[in-house]
Amino acid sequence: MAEGYCVKCKAKKEIADAFEEVMKNGRKAIKGKCPTCGVVMFKILGGKASTPDGAGAGKKTETPPASPASNPPVA
């Protein structure tokens, strides 16, 4: 399935029991185990995960700065 680097064996190997997950920052990754030693292997994939409806894909919404007329001076 996916090939990753095992830090314990110090070699590239096929990731066993691999499954895809989405990290906190929205990027995709594959997580599984090394077939030889059993250590957890983790491979970060390129690109961000897309939402099913496409909402918020790469768009940031900013609130406009408040106008001075709406903020009266404090006495």
d(CA 14, CA 35): 7
Q: What confidence score (pLDDT) does residue 47 get?
A: 77
Q: What confidence score (pLDDT) does residue 64 get?
A: 65
Q: What confidence score (pLDDT) does residue 52 get?
A: 60
Domain ranges for the chain, please list them.
1-49
Contacts of 13 by beta carbon, 8 Å cutoff, 6+ apart: 3, 4, 5, 6, 34, 35, 36, 41
Q: What is the pLDDT along the chain (75 residues), one digit of tens a residue?
A: 799 999 999 999 999 999 999 999 999 999 999 999 999 999 999 877 676 655 555 555 676 666 666 666 777
Q: What confidence score (pLDDT) does residue 20 get?
A: 94
Give pTM, 2 decimals.
Answer: 0.59
In this structure, whether the domain defined by 1-49 belongs to CATH 1.25.10 is answered with no
